[in-house]
Chain A
Amino acid sequence: DAGVTQSPTHLIKTRGQQVTLRCSPKSGHDTVSWYQQALGQGPQFIFQYYEEEERQRGNFPDRFSGHQFPNYSSELNVNALLLGDSALYLCASSLWGGHLNTEAFFGQGTRLTVV
């Protein structure tokens, strides 16, 4: 049973470019959340997708957008990259609400470096 898989593992982009990160959730999970983790900080919530719709959003600008596909996989897109977007981007999968003690499973993350 595959866990959460993210691709690519590492990425280097130039300021102003656009990037797309991909996530496949754990088998049986229907909800995908994305987090940004800067060096030395805890992960910060970007947004959450369920039934192909954005359900919750953290305090991130519109340059950050996402998509969820019918197979529950998800993409995170970041436009007009800034140096400050350099971080580890984590995908977490879970079951949609109402499930107490349901843990979120995280992928290994994508390390994005903006130069």
Chain B
Amino acid sequence: LAKTTQPISMDSYEGQEVNITCSHNNIATNDYITWYQQFPSQGPRFIIQGYKTKVTNEVASLFIPADRKSSTLSLPRVSLSDTAVYYCLVGDPTLGRLYFGRGTQLTVWP
């Protein structure tokens, strides 16, 4: 099981781009990298998933270098409503079991 390391907390201001980096040195060949967002007293919400290079959707981008030992979640032009905990997960998505760490608490200030 690939262990992930991400910052405990980050601060940003509205309108800025936020990059959260996750380290996963022991990532396996079948593992994908998935990010979830969680607001207080709510269930986590899927943000983005990728295997290598770059993935972009309507809310975020995920950058994965060639060695796949780290990944960076990029949130463009954050707003106050992006204040949440962000989890980096590494694993085989076909197995259906998710391994969460402690996540990164992102706080966006006005």
Contact surface of A with B, Cβ cutoff 8 Å: 4, 31, 33, 35, 40-45, 48, 55-56, 58, 88, 90-92, 94, 96-109, 111
Contact = CB atoms under 8 A, between A and B. Distances in A.
Contacts of B93: 99-102
Contacts of B99: 45
Given A99-B93, A99-B94, A108-B43, 13 more contacts: A31-B96, A33-B98, A35-B100, A40-B102, A42-B103, A97-B94, A97-B95, A97-B96, A100-B94, A103-B34, A106-B43, A106-B44, A109-B42
Given A42-B103, A100-B32, A33 B41 contact: no
Q: Is the interface of B mostly helix, strand, loop or mixed?
A: loop
B102 A41 contact: yes
A103 B32 CA distance: 12
Interface of B: 32, 34, 41-46, 49, 87, 93-103
A33 B43 contact: no
Contacts of B46: 103-105
